[in-house]
Amino acid sequence: MDRKKLYALQPYELHKELLDKYLEYCKFIDLKKREKRDIDVIQENHKFVWDEDDEAFTWEQKLAKKYYDKLFKEYCICDLSLYKKSQVAMRWQTEGELINGKGQFICGNKICDETAHLRTWEVNFSYMEHFKKKNTLVKLRLCMDCSNKLNYKHKKKEIKRQVSKSKKSKSKHFNKEREKFDNQPTTSIQSEVPVTAKLAIEDNVWSEQLQIEDEKPREDDFEDYLEQLLF
């Protein structure tokens, strides 16, 4: 009914018409609420990160928290379609994606299936949630092309595996000792001796060394051991 017809009604008829329209509207809203799906409830109560002290009071919050607990929060899946505007959407991995390797062994961009030359990036993800600005650190595994899109305007922090100095020094020392060992001349006598005979000879050598060691001081024995080990 248009405004002209409403203005032509008597006060009581106008009141009745408006009341009927209002009741129809309330019924429509009530039906919409009843038709709400679980995914709608989860989206309304979703949190990208639930802290340990966050409590779920209503059944809607509990449903959203239950969904959150089933996500895998090691790596993120991202949407880089608006990368030129510095707008990157993020979400956590699902169980199916974790099993398939999407986001870890396959590029984390949702529309990319590249598996070669993946790089790991640490991103300070800023987002709006329930009218509040929040941020958290997330990790992304992206191919070379998608990495360039992620760093279109601002360079992100790349995570690389680093070998500690102690491990490097140990590996260098091992390589030097290995080179010394490989460069030592070998005799043809040992290669021609059968295995059983070689073991018997070694047993005799050990027995002779034991007899000599009884006569040597412990300091001399330790020095001999170091010389055999280092030279």
Within the chain, how many helices (H) and strands (E) appear? 10, 5
CA distance 220 to 225: 9
CA distance 138 to 92: 9
Return phi, psi of residue 151, to 5°.
Answer: -100, 30
Cα–Cα separations (whole angstroms), residue 117 to 96, 123, 141: 23, 19, 10
Helix (H) / strand (E) element for 96: namely helix 95-100
The closest alpha carbon to 160, from 119, 202, 104, 214, belongs to 119
Digits of tens for pLDDT over the chain (231 positions)? 567 777 777 777 877 777 788 777 777 666 655 667 888 888 889 999 998 888 899 999 999 999 999 999 999 999 999 999 989 999 999 999 999 999 999 999 999 999 999 999 999 999 999 889 999 999 999 999 999 999 988 777 788 765 555 555 555 554 555 555 445 443 332 333 333 334 333 334 343 444 444 444 555 655 665 555 544
Burial of 163 (0-12, 13-18, 19+ CB in 10 A): exposed
CA distance 49 to 69: 10
